[in-house]
Structure 1
Amino acid sequence: MTKQFNYKQFGNIDLAVYNTTTKSVYRIEDHIKVIFIPQNYGIKIDFQEFILPHDALLFVNPKVVVQPLNIDTSGAELIHFNRDFYCIEIHDQEVACDGILYNNVFEVPFIELDENQSVDIRNIIANIKSEMESHDASTEEMLRILLKLIIIKSTRIWKQQHQLAENEQYSDVQFLRKFSKLVEENYKTHHTVADYADMLAITPKSLSKKISLLSKDTPNDIIKNRIILESKRLLAHTALSVKEIAYSLNYEDDAYFVRFFTKNTGISPTSFRKLF
């Protein structure tokens, strides 16, 4: 079910039910998503498969392809919305679409929930479902409040799980978020650690040292992995040629791009595409 308020769109549906007809959630590719995943539910995020041992929330940016591994398993709830519905009004705040949950190139942004947290989130989702049946003048604002409540609670949980709940560590969270956002916005045109160090007004060595405190991956790994992910998406989901994909990622020499992709994935772009 989807509601539209002028240009603002918000929807909620069982992920398995949705996928029985569309095979994936790619039809709403331009929507931002929150997915509630029940314990032991199998799910595929782009090209990675997960079966989580606990109830969890997943925060998904536009263009990411999400598919349940077993469509007979119910209980996964998909909440989706466009930027006009939520992001414009509270732009660039910690709990907006520019917050850490949606700007995190370090890891797939799962928030694992304990029993009490899961009950809390399930209750909010139940309220969303109830509100979706309403035609009251305040429905739009109530849905936005409930969505924001999920994001606020999840941001708190993420910070606690990453031991970043103390005020003195706030700068670490903000730095991680800023670097993630820069990579997401610039990976197609900027490929080196020095590029991002310049944007952050620090030395490449300082950037590497800072990221090492927050991630097991180096800045170069993070940048490289984001380019590879986009390459895989374009190979699997578009008809662009390898040369066109290389050009779209700012590689003028497509032979160099082929070597780069093959070295980092163990398979050539053409062979990868044949898998799909």
Structure 2
Amino acid sequence: MQQQLIFEDHYKKLGLEIFSEENLAAVNGNTFRYDIKILFIPEGYELTVDFNHYKVSKPSLFFLTSQHLKIEKGKEESMLLYYNRDFYCIQIHDKEVACDGLLFHNIFEIPFVELDYVETAVIKSLFQNIKDELEWKDSSVEEMIRTYVKQIIIRATRNWKKQHLHNDTIKIPGSELDIFRDFSRYLEIHFREKHHVAAYAELLHIAPKTLTHKFKNLNLESPNQLIINRILLEAKRLLFYTDKPVKEIAYDLGYEDPAYFNRLFTHKTGNTPSNFKKNYSSGKKYNT
């Protein structure tokens, strides 16, 4: 039986799961639902993240927090690194490589980065180092592992920017990046109670019109639409993965009037909440 690869100290926790086709059940389900997750996925895998389906054609890293994950098929050995915010969340040190930086909860809804041959070797080596530390159980294991996690996130962030910020669809000047990253972070924290652009503009210390213009100038969806998208995503998760009634979901998402929530959901998705729950079968298909 394989040794459990996990570090726990008071509130801090980090673990590593190694899986392949034989034991996909080890990572599917709700075991890691509330952990921050970094998955190394070789080519040939298929997985669904929330309502989006991915076919992995190059080795990739996926960065997930509260999304629903289901790995459907894949042969080669894969790795899941999972941890909580008490173990690693360096927002106070460097927002870009924090647990809610560019890779997690980005407004572009791109939760992965592809790896070339060299990067694949480096990332696999960093995962192996973490595995070695978890097996070694030395007194310095926590700090050593944290340095490896940081290296994974820094390397992935560089690659994510290279792949997604300098192409034909997303062009964001470096000086503007903080606004979009911080908006993404605040949205993830506050979407249940803050439903208006003005609330996020206030957190960002800019005028609502300025925030809206920044998104418009870069041909991005408006902040208002992104707020609605995030609320609708959570609504879909609750409808599909729980047995909560629509009225309770509306209250959970900050709507005191369930009828208003019902109209909003129906207008934006073309489906009533109850019809979505009954009829949803598959999400968008993506190749990575």
When the two structures are superposed, what TM-score results if normalisation uses the length of structure 2?
A: 0.84
Residues 91, 33 of structure 1: alpha-carbon distance in 2 compared, 3 angstrom cutoff: farther
96, 117, 136: which one pairs with 1:134?
A: 136
248, 251, 258: which one pairs with 2:252?
A: 248
Q: Report whether the alignment pairs 1:29 with 2:33.
A: yes
The residue identity in structure 2 corresponding to 1:225 is N
State the SS of the aligned residue for 2:17: strand
Cα distance in 1, alignment partners of residues 54 and 227 from structure 2: 23
> 1:208 deviation in Å?
2.0
Residues 18, 144 of structure 1: alpha-carbon distance in 2 compared, 3 angstrom cutoff: farther
Where structure 2 has 5 or more consecutive residues not aligned to the other structure, the ranges are 281-288
Q: How does 1:1-276 map to 2 (within 5 A)?
A: 1-16=5-20, 19-21=24-26, 23-24=28-29, 26-61=30-65, 63-70=66-73, 73-87=75-89, 93-161=95-163, 162-163=165-166, 169-214=173-218, 216-275=220-279
Cα distance in 1, alignment partners of residues 230 and 114 from structure 2: 24
> 1:136 deviation in Å?
1.6
State the SS of the aligned residue for 2:53: strand
Q: After superposing the two structures, state which structure 1 stretch, 13-22 or 105-114, moved more.
A: 13-22
Residues 22, 202 of structure 1: alpha-carbon distance in 2 compared, 3 angstrom cutoff: closer
Cα offsets for 1:97-128 (capped at 9, x unmatched): 13222241321321111221111111111222
Residues 12, 258 of structure 1: alpha-carbon distance in 2 compared, 3 angstrom cutoff: same
Instruction: Calculate the aligned-residue CA RMSD, in Å.
Output: 2.4
Residues 18, 192 of structure 1: alpha-carbon distance in 2 compared, 3 angstrom cutoff: farther
Say if 2:130 and 2:148, in contact at 8 Å, map to a contact too: yes
The residue identity in structure 1 corresponding to 2:18 is D
Cα offsets for 1:252-276 (capped at 9, x unmatched): 2212211211222222211222357
Cα offsets for 1:33-70 (capped at 9, x unmatched): 11112123111101111113221111112x21111121
The residue identity in structure 2 corresponding to 1:81 is Y
Where structure 1 has 5 or more consecutive residues not aligned to the other structure, the ranges are none
The residue identity in structure 1 corresponding to 2:119 is Q
The residue identity in structure 2 corresponding to 1:41 is Y
Identity of aligned residues (%): 41
Cα distance in 1, alignment partners of residues 156 and 135 from structure 2: 25
Cα distance in 1, alignment partners of residues 124 and 269 from structure 2: 38
Say if 1:106 and 1:215, in contact at 8 Å, map to a contact too: no
Cα distance in 1, alignment partners of residues 230 and 19 from structure 2: 26
When the two structures are superposed, what TM-score results if normalisation uses the length of structure 1?
A: 0.88
Cα distance in 2, alignment partners of residues 129 and 213 from structure 1: 45
The residue identity in structure 2 corresponding to 1:102 is F
